[in-house]
């Protein structure tokens, strides 16, 4: 089978229209967009994280048998870089990383763009009115949709101070970056019943948050979060399909995420 004629069947994704589920998605008719920052020694983690990403070389070079062989060991906290927040991260008894249904990880996406507002106010929070304004222009957000918030912050990655608003070691009290607001989270999670909330900053709560209400609202409804996304500027407001697959950590509260989007060619 030739790669450009490969058809990706997403029959499991109940959020897709019936016609799309039946026909599948022809990859030759889509652009593939990587939404993931690479994991390396520059990967950003929450300031209070006791460790960061570490890659240890185990083997690299010719073997006694004459062939080349490379292998590494990796160590990293669950929450850092492009990653998933499982609902249990902020809600006791809710789903762990391995329990998040595929329907919430592979689904149609909308992108709400607040980059201009965030550029004027780095503590900007998406509002309920922003959501309603988006729906007035692009139509109601359907249940089962992955909502992505574009703040424009991925352009700062991996500059810790520019991205997080502060680079004081072991101190998360001075962070400053935009994200979702509680009222926006409630309409998306409780009224629109979205599959997931994603954002191109370090948290689905804005940097100065002390109560993490967006996390709590989402987690209570078993809605996961995708944080530190990249490349959202390449996605349209509607029409993309997101595939966001975390490392399947049994009992995990999150995990490294490889997220991509399929964008129809126009």
Kindly list the catalytic residues.
Answer: 89
CA distance linking residue 126 with residue 149, whole number of Å: 8
> What would the 3-class secondary structure string for the chain be?
CCHHHCEECCCCCCCCCHHHHHHCEEHHHEEEEECECCCCCCCCECCCCCCCCEEEEEEEEECCCCCEEEEEEEECCCCECCEEECHHHCCCCCCCHHHCCHHHCEEEEEEEECHHHHHHCCCCEECHHHHHHHHHHHCCCCCCCEEEEECCHHHHCCCHHHHHCCCCCCCCCCCCCCEECHHHHHHHHHHCCCCEEEECCCCCECCCCCCCHHHHHHHHCCCCEEECECCHHHCCCEEEEEEEEECCCCCCCEEEEEEEEEEECC
CA distance linking residue 233 with residue 51, whole number of Å: 30
**Among 130, 251, 136, 151, CA closest to 206:** 151
**Among 142, 162, 154, 172, CA closest to 49:** 172
């Amino acid at each position: 089978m030739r790669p450009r004629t490969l058809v990706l069947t997403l029959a499991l994704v109940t959020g897709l229209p019936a016609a799309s589920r039946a026909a599948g998605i022809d990859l030759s008719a889509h652009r593939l967009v990587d939404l993931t920052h690479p994991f390396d020694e520059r990967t950003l983690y929450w300031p209070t994280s006791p460790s960061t990403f570490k890659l240890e070389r185990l083997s690299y070079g010719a073997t006694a048998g004459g062939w080349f062989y490379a292998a590494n060991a990796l160590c990293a906290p669950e929450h850092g870089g492009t990653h998933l927040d499982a609902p249990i991260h902020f809600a006791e008894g809710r789903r762990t990383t391995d329990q998040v249904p595929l329907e919430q990880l592979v689904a149609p996406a909308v992108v709400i763009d607040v980059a201009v507002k965030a550029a004027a106010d780095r503590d900007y929070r998406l509002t309920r009115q922003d959501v309603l304004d988006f729906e007035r222009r692009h139509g109601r957000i359907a249940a089962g949709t992955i909502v992505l918030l574009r703040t424009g912050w991925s352009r700062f990655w991996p500059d810790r101070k520019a991205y997080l608003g502060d680079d004081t070691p072991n101190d998360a009290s001075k962070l400053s970056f935009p994200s979702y607001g509680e009222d926006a989270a409630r309409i998306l999670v409780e009224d629109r019943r979205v599959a997931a909330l994603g954002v191109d900053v370090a948290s689905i709560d804005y940097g100065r948050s002390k109560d993490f209400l967006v996390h709590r609202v989402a987690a209570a409804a078993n809605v996961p979060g995708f944080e530190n996304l990249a490349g959202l500027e390449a996605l349209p407001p509607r029409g993309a399909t997101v595939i966001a697959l975390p490392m399947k950590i049994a009992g995990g509260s999150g995990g490294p995420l490889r997220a991509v989007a399929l964008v129809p060619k126009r």
